[in-house]
Amino acid sequence: MKNSTLPQLYEEMRRVRTFEERVGELFVRGQSAGSMLHLSIGEESAAVGVCAAMREGDTFTTHHRGHGIFLARGADPNRMMAEIAGKDSGYCHGKGGSMHIADMGLGHLGANAIVGGGIPAVVGAGLSARHAQSGAVSVAFFGDGATGQGILYESMNMAALWKLPVMFVCINNQYGMGTRIDQATANPNLHERAAAFGLAARTVDGLNVEDVVDAAVELMEGARAGTPAFLAVDCYRFYGHARKDKSPYRAEAEEEEGRKKDPVLHARARLVESGLMSEADADALDARVAAEMDDSIGYAVAGEEPQMASMFRDVYDPTEPEPEPVRTRLDRVLAQG
Ligand SMILES: Cc1ncc(C[n+]2csc(CCOP(=O)(O)OP(=O)(O)O)c2C)c(N)n1
Ligand SMILES: [Mg+2]
């Protein structure tokens, strides 16, 4: 394990866990924008472990369950929470929301609600990085459900063919909505598909975040040098698909067993056992993180709604001429016969 120490990784995972708990609270209080929220509780080691292997200047896209990934890449929880609340003070001035958050400054090329939708963008970003010789890698984060989308295979093929600095990270939480992976996929060894395209490919157990970091560092440095990579991180989606889903399709015993695979508690136990942190210090860290995330709710709730006049701001490139209104264009084309 190279880039981060276990205490740092634990703190980051605790921040993700607590942020998600507060997002759930925002939803229950009726203060989140939109009707859907997808929490990444149980998946923290994938976000934190892979992001620990990334460098400044690297870019990434995420799926609809991407809060933890952006946070692990350095996002400000205040501006994230405000975005999820649909406020002007959010990363996208409240126009992106939970599932379409983006920030070019931190290399976040966009979350995407379309399953697999963010994957091809990293092939373009990888091509751009290679032309610019920037040394950057572009990473696509997506769920196991996206392995049923053709665009993943088109993207992996192109990345392998052009030897692009690209990494595909599949967060395998065992479920696509209400369907368990073994009911949707004949061969659940997902990395074998990537290997067939010529990528360096592995699966890692997400219980131990340090194992995720090790696998991610090795694959990402290979990608940086022109061998695109695929990493599947095995974990368990602790709760329903979205905030309203009580997962009636899963047995309680299965959920209980699945939640034993808790990367946050596992890291904490290892810290305490190894003497790197006392129980009291871990409690103090947790309390500090809880206060930080409580503040983010306060920040979000206090923010202003976006003004109507700003509806088209940040939607079009300001250097582009104003698009011709559709009606005018239609009249003009029709008049030409
Ligand atoms: C192209 C497309 N098909 C269907 C949906 C509806 N949908 C939203 S999330 C989801 C399941 C995604 O599962 P997975 O990729 O494993 O991600 P997870 O929710 O488990 O993080 C589906 C089918 C969609 N958003 N886009
Ligand atoms: Mg899934």
Please compute the mean of the pLDDT values over residues 37-48 and round it to a whole number.
97
In a domain, 129, yes or no: yes
User: What are the tens digits of pLDDT across the range 216-266?
Assistant: 999 999 999 999 999 999 999 999 999 889 999 999 999 999 999 999 999
Please compute the mean of the pLDDT values over residues 44-73 and round it to a whole number.
98
Question: Residues enclosing ligand 1, CB less than 6 A?
Answer: 38, 63-65, 113-115, 143-146, 173, 175-177, 237, 241
Predicted local confidence at residue 2, as pLDDT:
46
**Cα-Cα end-to-end distance for the chain:** 68
In a domain, 34, yes or no: yes
Ligand located closest to 174 CA: 2
Q: What is the DSSP string of 84-113?
A: HTT-TTSTTTTSS-TTS--BGGGTEEEE-S
In a domain, 1, yes or no: no
The rounded Å distance from CA 148 to ligand 1 centre is 10
Q: When comparing pLDDT for 53 and 2, which is higher?
A: 53
Ligand located closest to 173 CA: 2
The rounded Å distance from CA 170 to ligand 2 centre is 9
Token readout for 251 is 């047995």
| Probe target for ligand 1 pocket from 177, 237, 244, 250, with the most ligand atoms within 8 Å of CB | 177
* 168, β-bridge pairs: 140, 230
The rounded Å distance from CA 171 to ligand 2 centre is 7
Token readout for 28 is 């229950």
Predicted local confidence at residue 35, as pLDDT:
76
Residue bearing the CA closest to ligand 1, atom 8: 115
Predicted local confidence at residue 244, as pLDDT:
85
Q: Domain of 241?
A: 6-335
| Segment among 102-111, 186-195, 310-319 with least mean pLDDT | 310-319
Token readout for 165 is 């600095």
Whether pLDDT at 1 is above 70: no
Predicted local confidence at residue 322, as pLDDT:
74
Nearest atom (ligand 1) to Cα of 171: 21
In a domain, 235, yes or no: yes
Whether pLDDT at 3 is above 70: no
Whether pLDDT at 337 is above 90: no
Ligand located closest to 62 CA: 1
Q: How far apart are CA 244 and CA 37, in angstroms?
A: 8
Q: When comparing pLDDT for 163 and 35, which is higher?
A: 163
pTM over 0.85: yes
Predicted local confidence at residue 295, as pLDDT:
97
The rounded Å distance from CA 234 to ligand 2 centre is 10
CA 230 → CA 65, 170, 189, 262, distances in Å?
Answer: 19, 8, 12, 23
Residue 20 banded pLDDT, cuts 50, 70, 90: very high
Ligand located closest to 145 CA: 1
Token readout for 317 is 């490139």
In a domain, 323, yes or no: yes
CATH of the domain at 164: 3.40.50.970
Residue 4 banded pLDDT, cuts 50, 70, 90: low
| Probe target for ligand 1 pocket from 37, 115, 250, with the most ligand atoms within 8 Å of CB | 115
* 140, β-bridge pairs: 61, 168
- What's the mean per-residue pLDDT of the chain? 95
Residue bearing the CA closest to ligand 1, atom 18: 143
Q: How far apart are CA 55 and CA 48, in angstroms?
A: 13
The rounded Å distance from CA 34 to ligand 1 centre is 17
In a domain, 310, yes or no: yes
The rounded Å distance from CA 199 to ligand 1 centre is 24
User: What are the tens digits of pLDDT across the range 284-336?
Assistant: 999 999 999 999 999 999 999 999 888 878 777 778 777 788 888 889 989 98
| Sign of the dihedral defined by the CA atoms of residues 256, 258, 262, 266, in that order | positive
Count of structural domains within the chain: 1
The rounded Å distance from CA 151 to ligand 1 centre is 14
Please compute the mean of the pLDDT values over residues 147-168 and round it to a whole number.
98
Share of the chain above pLDDT 70, in %: 99
Nearest atom (ligand 1) to Cα of 144: 16
In a domain, 289, yes or no: yes
User: What are the tens digits of pLDDT across the range 33-42?
Assistant: 987 899 999 9
In a domain, 240, yes or no: yes
